[in-house]
Structure 1
Amino acid sequence: MTPTAIFEPIGHESLADAVVAQVEDLIASGILKQGRKLPSERDLAEMLRVSRPKLREALHVLEERGLVTTQHGEGTFVAALTGQAMMPALLALYERHEPAFFDYLEYRREQEGFAARLAARRATKADKERITEILAEDDRAWRANDPAASREADFALHAAIVDASQNATLIHMMASIYELTRQGVFYNREFLKTIDGTGERLVQQHKELGEAVIAGDEARAEQSAFDHIDFVEESFRLGIERRRRETMAEKRRMLSSSKPTPNS
């Protein structure tokens, strides 16, 4: 399904109000997420089968309601609906404060498990096909040693499972959390690979999680999500401890190699 296929023609009796209702439904359900660009005015009017003046009227209503924003020369976008999960000052503090990272993982563990259980119960054929495609891309990227593609497949899989939960609140809230992950505030895939060795374990965990959702096995999907986040937490704890040992060893080396000060 192409992005434009999510819009349906408007009946002759509906017009502007029906356009507003359809876009609102797509936003509320999490299909249109914040930052998503809408089709051009001409294309959207054609898809909805309404006149461009009626479409402009509907877009004006949506903009007044704070659901879309128009950027001149760029187009119309779904507005930032959940806001920033954290302000820049707090993000900077979290980057300097390691315990905050583990609070983040604790939160994500429960939300990821909840999403996986719901997804296993509710995923549609289209959801399962999307997850299957992402798993194939994840495996391809790993075999090709393509870090950028692996990173994108990682994000895409987690987002696809949350989308398959069909819970609009969860979809919108986790989109905000994943944006922090994408910015690298709380997650460094390359660091995990140094613990994992090759990144193969990450790929296998993703495969287990995705296949559990596709199989409709709620308990297995939830546990797979828990296991994945537990692995991330364990890896970072080991990494922090390794970094601490290396720092102490380097200080001891510097001290032992320094020449003693002659007695006066």
Structure 2
Amino acid sequence: MMEQQNTNQSLFDRVGHESLADAVVRQVEDLIASGILKQGKRLPSERELSEALGVSRPKLREALQILEDRGLVVTRHGEGTFVSALTGQAMLPALISLYGRHEPAFMDYLEYRREQEGFAARLAADRATSADKERITDILEKMVTAFEAGDNEASRQADFALHAAIVDASQNATLIHMMASIFELTQQSVFYNRDFLRTIDGTGRILLDQHLELGNAVIEGEPARAKRAAKEHIDFVEKSFRVGLERQRREVMSNKRRLLSS
């Protein structure tokens, strides 16, 4: 609990007495607009928020009601207050499924990611704070540990965490919100079958090296290198996807030949 309180106190600033509710609203709005508080994020409890902000609970409730009226937060009875789904789903399940069956659409998705992640990596290498770099360093260490242990699930989680951390380090609020929605799709095997990618390079070593290069380029503050690393990673995903399709086509043709010869 002490760790949670310290986190809350560093996230929120104590407010003055000019207009307590408005001051609280402004702080939460700033955190949402900047991408620090993302959609679905649960806010601290009333008690924790009240102590961190230095306001009474009635004033805090007044502020939360204003935020809810503006559609920025939603309160669920018995669960707490959460940041609203502000960007929504980038695609509905039916369209996601269609992308998985439609090669040109999937290639468009990769093209979009290549440009956006290259842009994010370049900005991150130029703008990352010491806290951003510590976060990325920690993720890279977890990634190496997972690889050495052969823990595919931990590798997968570190993979997604690294991409999200780099986008956050770009300090571009619009990019942060839009890519958060895209990353929800990325975690679905239709868009990013990490296990399949590992079969292309045999052990997953290529993926690890690509992520290490990307993360270290950001940490070392080299924008051009970071942008290049991000794009080369997506190029590898695209190449792997094409290899997979070609394998499937060869298997189909081989099975047809076998049927004719039997």
TM-score, structure 1 normalization: 0.94
Between the aligned partners of 1:183 and 1:54, the Cα distance in structure 2 is 42
1:132 partnered with 2:137: yes
2-side partners of 1:255 and 1:133: how far apart? 56
Let me know the Cα RMSD of the aligned residues: 1.2
For 1:194, the aligned partner's letter is T
From 134, 140, 153, the counterpart of 2:158: 153
Which of 91, 94, 99 aligns to 2:99? It is: 94
Counterpart position of 2:201: 196
Equivalent-residue separation in structure 2 for 1:22 and 1:41 (angstroms) = 15
CA distance in 2, matches of 1:42, 1:61: 18
- In structure 2, how many angstroms separate the alpha carbons of the residues matched to 1:184 and 1:170? 23
**Cα distance, 1:56 vs structure 2:** 0.5
Residue of structure 2 in register with 1:49 after alignment:
54
How far the C-alpha of 1:87 sits from its partner, in A, is 2.0
Higher-Rg structure is 1
Equivalent position amino acid for 1:91 in 2: I
CA distance in 2, matches of 1:95, 1:202: 22
Given residue 26 of structure 1, which amino acid in structure 2 is its aligned partner?
L
Equivalent-residue separation in structure 2 for 1:185 and 1:118 (angstroms): 28
Which of these residues, 193, 212, 229, is aligned with residue 234 of structure 2?
A: 229
**Which amino acid is the alignment partner of residue 45 of structure 1?**
S
Aligned residues between the structures: 257
Partner of 1:8: 13
Rounded to whole Å, the distance in 1 between the matches of 2:216 and 2:175 is 21
Unaligned runs of 5+ in 1: 258-264
**1-structure distance, mates of 2:84, 2:249:** 43
1: CA distance, partners of 2:113 / 2:104: 15
Aligned letter for 1:124?
A: T
1:20 and 2:25 correspond: yes
Alignment of 1:34-113 (within 5 A): 34-113=39-118
Q: Which residue of 2 aligns with 1:260?
A: none
Deviation string for 1:107-152 (max 9, x for gaps)? Answer: 0000000000000110000000000000000111111111111111
SS of structure 1 residue aligned to 2:203: coil
Query: Which residue type is aligned with residue 243 of structure 1?
Result: Q
In 2, the alpha carbon distance for the partners of 1:185 and 1:86 equals 13
Range moving further from structure 2, 245-254 or 107-116: 245-254
SS of the aligned residue for 1:114 comes to: helix
Q: Distance in 2 between matches of 1:124 and 1:103?
A: 32
**Aligned partners of 1:255 and 1:77: how far apart in 2?**
61
Tell me how far 1:89 sits from its aligned partner: 2.1
Q: Residues 161-201 of structure 1: CA distance to partner in whole angstroms, max 9, x if unpaired?
A: 00000000000000000011123331110010111111111
Hey, what does 1:262 align to over in structure 2? none
The structure 2 residue matched to 1:143, chosen from 130, 139, 148, is 148
Identity of matched residues, %: 74
Amino acid at match of 1:154: D
Any gaps of 5 or more consecutive residues in structure 2? none
Q: Which amino acid aligns with 1:201?
A: I
> What one-letter code is carried by the residue in structure 2 that aligns with 1:113?
G
Equivalent-residue separation in structure 2 for 1:136 and 1:248 (angstroms)? 44
TM-score normalized with structure 2 length:
0.95
- Please give the per-residue CA displacement for 1:66-117, whole angstroms capped at 9, x wherever unaligned: 1001111111100001111112221221122122111100000000000000
